[in-house]
Amino acid sequence: MIKRLLIANRGEIAVRIIRSCREMGIETVAVYSEADRDSLHVRLADRSVCIGPAPPAKSYLVKENLIMAALHTDCGAVHPGVGFLSENPEFARLVRDQGLLFIGPDPEVIELLGDKVRARATAQKYGLPVTPGTGAVSGETIQAAEALGFPVIIKAAAGGGGRGMRIVRRAEDLRDNISIASREAEENFADGTVFIEKYLENPRHVELQIIADGSNAAVLGERDCTVQKNHQKLIEESPSPAVSAGMRRAMTAAAVPLFRELKYRGAGTIEFLVEEGKFYFMEVNARVQVEHPVSEFVSGVDIIRQQILACTEGRLELPGQADAAAAGEADFPAEPPLSGWAMECRINALTPGKITRLEVPGGPGVRFDSFLYPGYSVPPHYDSMVAKLIVHETDRNHALARMDRALRELVIDGIATNKERQRWIINHPVFHYGVFGTSWYENIEKEVEHVQ
């Protein structure tokens, strides 16, 4: 077991990693920009190092500064968190080349999965269903895209989050949108490669939580991430109302061999679009996800702990694992037992400002992951998410009631947030009924935006 770990990230994910490390007896080193000097993760870590000014391009994205901080503080490993450099193969390679452990898959695996064109081809190789589409766009693939039938969607091969993404409904708009998407991809990911898929109008967005140790892989259930604004997730839940037991088994049976063959280590997520009882591979996120707490609630597994164990000791500690070994069963438990229903609301800051009052909800089955505290000034330089409110109950109806109660208890004064908008969404009859697709939020957005 390593003695000290550097966290190459900030905010609530850095706080989350610190908490698991402390329980494991691992010291932590926080890095921070000048704007994050007073951030909670800096206060909680055993040591901290300033790595530059506020802009991420001059601090959290400077690979050399992060490596130097890890070496200077005698760390044995680097945890990349989410966002920033968490799926950057060059950073993972630099960490490895300096004799440090990277808490994530090998850089070659990150590189493969980070290129959506190659990842799509790899998924097909292992029998995963994909939506009809093309490889990297060229003169020939434009004609192939037209043959798919409209609408189609153009995607950046090297990124996500809605950047470099365009929906095209008419053939005459295709070339211009390819140019725009490619330009956006180049600006955001330093790679202008784009590809084209048949666009599904209103699917569900469902993902499997994977944890793997380089030889074995387990699925900690699925998460439904269908409620989105501009391709950014707002609410996540596990299990998904749209996934039957049979579909869950089929998804798991398709995903586990892929991760085993890749010799994947750490946490990862394989994402699918679900429509009319069928599922289609979309991408793999080679890191822990923001929404991992809902999977932790239903599985009883500390995903950060397992991620660290897998990448530093090559092993996992999962429910059912010891029982299987004691019974002499050769198969690794690919589906540890799950219990209940979990739901997460992302709390986003609509304005920067100083926190004048913070009241955190409590009670059974309530969790609040955040880096806020009274007196802290939320900087304007980073992602707008300032907290995650997660609840767990026996079933979906009870989970909805618990989430509504917890949102009502939550008080964050000093900044404007989307808290009341989240309450409005979870109390909407369509959300309660559980039958909706990725375009649902866009259809009700004007109703939601008036909620303060």
**Is the torsion defined by CA of 299, 368, 291, 75 positive or negative?**
negative
How far is Cα 401 from Cα 148, in angstroms, rounded to an integer? 44
Judge if the upstream peptide bond of residue 352 is cis by omega within 30 degrees of 0: no
Eight-state DSSP code of residue 55:
S
Tokens of 125: 């190789």
How far is Cα 241 from Cα 435, in angstroms, rounded to an integer? 8
Amino acid found at 371: F
CA 88 to chain centre: 15
How far is Cα 167 from Cα 217, in angstroms, rounded to an integer? 35
**Is the torsion defined by CA of 103, 106, 107, 112 positive or negative?**
negative
Helix or strand or coil: residue 221?
strand
Eight-state DSSP code of residue 171:
G
283-293 core/surface letters (b: 16 or more CB in 10 A; e: else): bbbbbbbbbbb
Eight-state DSSP code of residue 56:
G
Helix (H) or strand (E) holding 174: helix 174-189
- The catalytic residue among 10, 223, 287, 402 is 287
Helix (H) or strand (E) holding 416: none
- Answer for the pair 6, 31: CB distance below 8 angstroms, yes or no: yes
Largest Cα–Cα distance of the chain, in whole Å? 64
Which residues make Cβ contacts (< 8 Å) with residue 173, sequence separation at least 6? Answer: none
Amino acid found at 284: V
396 flagged as catalytic: no
- Answer for the pair 105, 87: CB distance below 8 angstroms, yes or no: no
Which residues make Cβ contacts (< 8 Å) with residue 147, sequence separation at least 6? Answer: none
Amino acid found at 217: A
Going by their DSSP bridges, the two strands 377-378 and 353-354 should be labelled as antiparallel
Task: Determine the Cα angle at 134 with ends 129 and 136, to 5°.
Answer: 125
How far is Cα 316 from Cα 253, in angstroms, rounded to an integer? 20
The catalytic residues are 287
